């Protein structure tokens, strides 16, 4: 087993167990067992369980696979916002870090809360790029920023739940909210 492979198995096991049981209820012995590595190897890579949580959140809560340009819809900012929501939902489906861990552990781990804030800022920057690329007329920077803040707040009302089932699970009507945000942007277009 290569060092990189062992470390990845430890992170995968921790992600699964932290999502299922929570950080505090997951002993390092269980992580090592699920990863099929000696407990000493776990501590070689991650001297404390908190180090493991920090590494998991830092490495798996990123937007690298997101190409903002692919989400842009020239002349249709509503569709662009919905594209972004869909892409975030796809990323969330693949990651227990996004789906469960970050939301649960932010209350008790300041470093996780800080990473969540950083993640929201990254999403906000992507929203701003997508909106600017989708609007046909120049929009005041302040208005684009406010729209991005609002969209990120809407998407994080709950942990990026599956927006495809919004009508059945009490999620917000994203299409209507995207229309509302874009109507506000349209009224603030620069002359």
Report the pLDDT value the prediction gives residue 118, as an integer from 0 to 100: 87
126 pLDDT exceeds 90? yes
Q: What is the pLDDT of residue 170?
A: 56
How far apart CA 113 and CA 117 sit, in angstroms, is 6
- For residue 159, what pLDDT is reported? 47
pLDDT in the model for residue 167 = 44
Average pLDDT over residues 161-180: 67
Total-model pTM: 0.76
Query: Quick check: 161 pLDDT over 50?
Result: no
For the segment 83-98, what is each residue's pLDDT rounded down to a tens digit? 999 988 887 777 767 6
pLDDT of residue 116: 84
Going by pLDDT thresholds of 50, 70 and 90, the confidence category of residue 187 is confident
Mean per-residue pLDDT for 104-123? 86
What integer pLDDT is reported at residue 108 of this predicted model?
87
**Mean pLDDT over each residue of the chain, to the nearest integer:** 85
Q: Is the pLDDT of residue 7 over 60?
A: yes
Question: pLDDT of 11-65, one tens digit each?
Answer: 999 999 998 999 999 999 999 999 999 999 999 999 999 999 989 888 887 766 6
Q: What pLDDT, on the 0 to 100 scale, is given for residue 150?
A: 94
Cβ contacts of residue 55 below 8 Å, gap of 6+? 11, 46
Kindly state the average pLDDT of the residues 76-85.
95
Mean pLDDT on 121-141: 93
């Amino acid at each position: 087993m290569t060092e990189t492979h062992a470390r990845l198995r430890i992170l995968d096991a921790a992600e699964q167990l932290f999502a299922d049981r929570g950080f505090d209820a997951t002993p390092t012995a269980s992580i090592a067992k699920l990863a099929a590595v000696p407990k000493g190897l776990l501590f070689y890579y991650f001297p404390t369980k908190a180090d493991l949580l920090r590494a998991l959140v830092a490495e798996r809560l990123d937007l690298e696979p997101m190409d903002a340009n692919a989400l842009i819809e020239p002349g249709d900012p509503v569709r662009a916002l919905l594209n972004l929501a869909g892409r975030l939902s796809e990323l969330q489906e693949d990651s227990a870090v996004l789906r469960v861990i970050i939301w649960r552990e932010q209350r008790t781990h300041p470093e996780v809360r800080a990473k969540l804030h950083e993640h929201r800022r990254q999403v906000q920057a992507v929203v701003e790029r997508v909106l600017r690329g989708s609007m046909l007329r120049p929009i005041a920077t302040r208005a684009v920023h406010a729209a991005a803040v609002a969209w990120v707040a809407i998407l994080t009302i709950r942990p990026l739940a599956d927006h495809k089932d919004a009508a059945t699970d009490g999620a917000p009507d994203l299409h209507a909210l995207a229309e509302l945000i874009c109507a506000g942007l349209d009224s603030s277009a620069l002359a």
